[in-house]
Amino acid sequence: MLAAIACAEALAPVIPDGWDADGEPVGKPWGEVRTPWVQLAAVSEDQTRNAWAPLLEMLREGPAVDEYPGLEPLDTFINLPKGRIEFVTSAATSREGNRPVFCVLDQTEEWRPSNGGVKLAATLRRNLGKTNGSSIESPNAYLPGDGSVAEESAEYYKRICEGRAKDDGLLYDHREAPPETDMADRESLLAGLAYTYGDSADAAGGWVDLERIAAEVWDPATHPQDARRFYLNQITHASDSWISQPEWASALDASKTVSSRDEVVLGFDGSRKRSHSVTDATALVGCRISDGHLFLLGCWEQPDGPFGVDWQVPTVEVLAAVEEAFRDYKVVGMYADPALWESHVAGWEAKYGRRLKVKASANHPIEWWMTGGRAGLIVRALEKFRSSVVDGELTHDGASALTRHVLNARRRTSRSGIQIMKEHPESPRKIDAALAAVLAWQCRVDAMAKGLGRKKTARAGRVVVLR
């Protein structure tokens, strides 16, 4: 497919050129605008062969040679009637200043800073911007935390979906097996493989033998995480992830809605402004007591690029979101980490403390520190949350910011047990919404211990018969 698209970009009328009398779009080839220059890129020469070999076969053995006089498909480059197709790798000293009209970026899950892949991708995209060109990536499922080009593209797509990116010029097509796919169950595994491979699966008349793939999955030498990445196309998790992508995805239930009649609890984790690097995020998460359904009420994050310079958390918006939550829902409890928000947490306690049925303590019904000498309590709260995800005891609304923060969290071992942190202190990958969710879940656990959220039944009583 990549080879065919490269051929089209080099020779076919792919540039919009108005409309015909019937209202249909008309195109013209790049050769009428500028000299077409197409590049197939990878971090190694072996990787470029994935698309280069079928590209040569198409141009040598198909009708293209007869249709386009001057076309010369040579082993290491292709001369066009006007222009050139070539393959490039990160081993090249520099690609700065080239003027390609189209680039193929192959297997970008392997394009990392360590092998020059990230720098190569940035250079190719800068060059394409000079010609109004375009590029296409073809990665396998990336490994979170690797910093690969594929991971950065996925993060860019998420920013577009959340409205945090100013440009939306990206088509993102990702197909992975359902998160509940059980690799130990034959029927479940084959169903997941059939969905992932689509028309190429033998079950759909294609060429991929799913039974053969299943045998590879079950091979003891195949790591389960590799099986999910390379065969089910699932973006799993880094080796030190707190919760994996399949685990979190299996808890998704976007069909649930929370009404004003439901008893809910809130979790809050806040920040203000940092003197260095990126400002931490602020998040407010709700949880329905009756079924443990989590829903994101707000997440305030520093914008990318120049829009984020000197950015501070919009305190007025955060306070308004908390006020709306208490107005719109039947809030019976709220746990908030007061770090940097002590005065506001104290204000919430004064305003809402008496109406709360679940309280962190008698003197401070909302204040629930996630730092300090409370390591034991924090470890237990984190473990309760994670086990509830894995055991299917909670659901969530699928909010992209909450999902991203949960998957960003990394396990760190302390003297008291497992805690969570960012991948490194200055990382732009935030986890604040995950902490807010943990606080909401802990508040829900305490609410359940008080008997809240249970369905009320008619009380049994004595029957008195009067004669």
Q: When comparing pLDDT for 43 and 283, which is higher?
A: 283
348-392: per-residue pLDDT in tens? 999 999 999 999 999 999 999 998 778 899 999 999 999 999 999
In this structure, the answer to whether residues 153 and 266 fall within a common structural domain is: no
Closest CA to 233 of 171, 186, 178, 159: 178
For residue 246, the model assigns a pLDDT of: 84
For residue 198, the model assigns a pLDDT of: 94
Q: For position 79, which CATH number holds? A: 3.40.50.300
In a domain, 334, yes or no: yes
CA distance 446 to 440: 10
**Residue 133 CB-density burial (10 A; 0-12 exposed, 13-18 middle, 19+ buried):** buried
In a domain, 348, yes or no: yes
**Contacting residues for 115 by C-beta, under 8 A, at least 6 apart:** 43, 90
Total tally of structural domains belonging to the chain: 2
In this structure, the answer to whether residues 126 and 256 fall within a common structural domain is: no
Mean pLDDT of 308-323: 91
In a domain, 16, yes or no: yes
In a domain, 197, yes or no: no
In this structure, the answer to whether residues 327 and 423 fall within a common structural domain is: yes
In a domain, 390, yes or no: yes
Q: How confident is residue 158, by pLDDT bands cut at 50, 70 and 90? A: confident
Q: Which residues span the domain enclosing 122?
A: 2-161
Mean pLDDT of 120-141: 93
Q: For position 418, which CATH number holds? A: 3.30.420.240
Question: Tokens at residue 294, please?
Answer: 């989590």
DSSP sequence for 188-250: HHHHHHHHHHGGGBGGGT-SB-HHHHHHHHH-TTS-HHHHHHHTS------TTBSS-HHHHHH
Please state whether the predicted TM-score (pTM) of the whole model is above 0.75: no
In a domain, 462, yes or no: no
In a domain, 228, yes or no: no
In a domain, 137, yes or no: yes
Mean pLDDT of 177-204: 94
For residue 373, the model assigns a pLDDT of: 77
Mean pLDDT of 432-450: 97
In this structure, the answer to whether residues 22 and 156 fall within a common structural domain is: yes
For residue 463, the model assigns a pLDDT of: 56
For residue 323, the model assigns a pLDDT of: 97
316-337: per-residue pLDDT in tens? 999 999 999 999 999 999 999 9
51-106: per-residue pLDDT in tens? 899 999 999 998 999 999 999 999 999 999 999 999 998 765 566 668 999 999 99
Residue 407 has pLDDT above 50, yes or no: yes
**Contacting residues for 305 by C-beta, under 8 A, at least 6 apart:** 166
Mean pLDDT of 215-219: 95
For residue 458, the model assigns a pLDDT of: 47
